[in-house]
Chain A
Amino acid sequence: MNVKDVIIIGGGSTGCGIARDLALRGISHCLIEKNDFAAGATGACHGLLHSGGRYAVADTDAAAECIAENRILSRIGRKCVEQTGGLFVRLPGDSKKYRDAFLKGCERLGIETEVLSPTRALELVPSLNPALEEAVRVPDCSIDPFRLCMLNIVSSKARGGEIFTHHEVINIIKERGRCVGVKLKEKLSSSIKEIRGKVIVNAAGAWAQRIAILAGSSLPMTLSKGSLVVTNHRLSNMVINRLRPPSDGDIIVPNEAVCLAGTTSVAVDSPDNLEVTSGEVETVAWEAASMVPEFEDVRLIRTYAGVRALLNSESLDGRQISRSFQIIDHKNGLFSIIGGKLSTYRLMAEKLCDAVMRHLDLKRACLTAEKPLEGQEELRGYPLSDRLESLKDIICECELVRRSDVERVIQRISPKHIGDIQHRTRLGMGPCQGGFCTYRALGVMQETGKVSPEESIEILKEFLQRRFKGIRPVLWGDQLREEQLIEYIYLGILSMESY
Chain B
Amino acid sequence: MNKGTYDAVVIGGGMSGLTAAITLCDAGKTVAVISKGDPVCCLSTGCVDILNSTDEPFDGISSLPFGHPYGLVEQDLIIEACEHFMETAARGSLPYAGSIHKNRHLITPIGMKKTTCLVPKTMEHANCDENEGIHIVSFRGLKDFFPSYIMLQYSNTGCSIFDASVSSTIGIAERFEDERFRETFADWLSRQHIPEGKIAIPAVLGIRSSFSIYKELSQRTGRTFFEIPTLPPSLPGIRLFKCMKQAFLARGGHLYWGSEIASVEKLGAIIEGVTLKNPGRVGRVQGRAFILASGSFISGGLFARMDSVQETVFGLPVYYPENRSGWFKDSFFSRGHQIEKAGVEVDSSFRPLADAPFKNLFICGSIMARSEVMKYGCGHGLAIATGYAAARSCEGFVR
Contacts and interface: CB of A to CB of B under 8 A. Distances in A.
Interface stretch (B8-16, B27-35, B95-103, B303-311): B303-311
Contacts of A487: 332, 337, 374
A492 B148 contact: no
Given A439-B231, A495-B112, A477 B146 contact: no
B359 interface: no
Contact of B43 (A457, A485, A497, A499): A485
A395 interface: yes
Interface string B154-168: 000000000000011
Interface string A288-307: 00000000000000000000
Contact of B152 (A439, A453, A488, A492): A453
Interface string B45-75: 1000000000000000000000000000000
Given A395-B143, A476-B324, A488-B374, A498 B112 contact: yes
Contact of B377 (A392, A480, A492): A492
Contacts of A403: 141
B181 to A, nearest CB: 19
B326 to A, nearest CB: 10
Interface string B304-340: 1110000000000000000011011011111101010
A325 interface: no
A464 B330 CA distance: 12
A476 B167 CA distance: 34
Nearest to B335: A491
B42 to A, nearest CB: 12
B304 A480 contact: yes
B209 interface: no
Given A489-B231, A497-B334, A277 B325 contact: yes
Nearest to A472: B328
A490 B109 CA distance: 10
A73 B112 CA distance: 50
B149 interface: yes
B146 A447 contact: yes
Contact of A481 (B151, B297, B374): B297
Interface string A417-455: 000000000000000000010011001001100000110
B266 interface: no
A247 B229 CA distance: 51
B377 A465 contact: no
Interface residues of B, number: 47
A277 B296 CA distance: 26
A453 B112 CA distance: 13
Contacts of A485: 43, 298
B148 A446 contact: yes
Contacts of B337: 487
A440 B113 contact: no
Contact of B146 (A446, A468, A488, A496): A446
14 contacts: A436-B231, A443-B149, A446-B148, A447-B146, A453-B149, A457-B110, A476-B306, A481-B304, A487-B374, A492-B379, A493-B229, A495-B110, A495-B115, A499-B110
- Going nearest first, the 10 A-B pairs with the smallest beta carbon separation are A468-B332, A495-B112, A443-B146, A497-B333, A476-B304, A278-B325, A453-B148, A481-B297, A495-B114, A480-B304
Interface of B: 43-45, 108-110, 112-115, 141, 143-144, 146, 148-149, 151-152, 167-168, 229, 231-232, 234, 296-298, 300, 303-306, 324-325, 327-328, 330-335, 337, 339, 374, 377, 379
